[in-house]
Amino acid sequence: MTLTGKAAARLVCGCASVLLSYPEESFVDDLDAVRRALDRLPRRRVRARLTDTVTWLSTMSVLQAATQYVEAFDLARGVTLHLTYYRYGDTRERGMALVRLAEAYRAGGVGLRTGELPDFLPAVLELAAISPIGMELLREQRSELEMLRAELVAARSGYASVVEAIGEVLGPLSAATRATLQRLRAQGPPTERVGLERSEPSELLVQHWPGREACAPPANPLR
C-alpha cells in the first residue's frame, strides 16, 4: 500500500534516520529495510532522493561506508549532525538548548541512547518517525538543517540527498527561517563569551534532566 500525508512523512524520517546513522554490522540489512520501505512511498522527488543515497551506499562495504561517514560528518569543517552547533557553537546557550530538546523527548515518552545528545539529527528523525513532537523539532531547526544541506551539497556528498528529502517533507522555507539562515551564514557558530564558566552539554543534561534514563529510547519502525 502506498503511503501519503503524515504517514509518508513519518516513513521518510525513519528512512533518513537509518541512512544518516553510522554504518554498523547491520549496514546491509539496514539498507535492505530502507529499500523495502521506500517502495511504500509515491514515486516522487522525496523517494528519488532517498533512493539515490541508498544506491550510493550500496556500492560500498561497511568499512568504506564508515569511512565516508567519518569524512562527511567528523572531519569536514563546518559539517555536523548536531544541529544546535550551527546556532550556538560550543557555548553555554547550546547546553541549555540541549536541555530543552531533551525535555521534548521526555514529553514524547522516549529517551536517548547512552552518549547520544538530543540534537543529533538521526535521533531527532527517529523521534519524528514515531511522534509529532519529533516533526515539530525538525521544523524548529529548519535553518540548521538548511545549513547542513548546503554544506553537504558543496562537498558533493551522497548524504546531501537525504537532507534534501527531509526538506521536501517539511515544505518551503518561511521568511523567518530565511532571515535566520542568512544570519547564521554571516556570523557562523559563536564562541563562549568571556567571563562565563563553560559547561559541557552532557554535564548540563545531567544537572537539568536527571530522570532521562527512565525513558526508553525511540524505536525506529524500520529497525
CA dist., res. 56 & res. 71, Å (int): 15
Residue 186 — very low, low, confident or very high, per pLDDT cuts 50/70/90?
confident
Q: 221 lies in a domain?
A: no
Cα–chain center distance at 85: 12
pLDDT at 141: 92
pLDDT at 222: 66
Q: 220 lies in a domain?
A: no
Q: 158 lies in a domain?
A: yes
Locate 89 and state its grid cell: 557553537
**DSSP, res 71:** I
Q: 28 lies in a domain?
A: yes
CA dist., res. 173 & res. 18, Å (int): 25
Domain that holds residue 169: 5-214
CA dist., res. 146 & res. 176, Å (int): 13
Enclosing H/E stretch for 100: helix 92-107
pLDDT at 166: 96
Domain count, the chain: 1
The tens digit of pLDDT for each residue in 102-134 reads 988 888 777 777 778 999 999 999 999 999 999
> Which of 13, 22, 30 minimizes the C-alpha distance to 145?
13
Least confident of 19-33, 41-55, 145-159, 196-210: 196-210
Q: 223 lies in a domain?
A: no
The tens digit of pLDDT for each residue in 3-60 reads 678 899 999 999 999 999 999 999 999 999 999 999 998 888 999 999 999 999 999 9
Question: Across the chain, what does the average pLDDT equal?
Answer: 84
Q: 159 lies in a domain?
A: yes
196 vs 20, more confident: 20
- pTM for the whole thing? 0.84
Q: 219 lies in a domain?
A: no
CA dist., res. 143 & res. 185, Å (int): 10
Q: 222 lies in a domain?
A: no
CA dist., res. 146 & res. 150, Å (int): 6
**Overall average pLDDT of the 94-102 stretch:** 89
pLDDT-above-90 percentage for the chain: 54
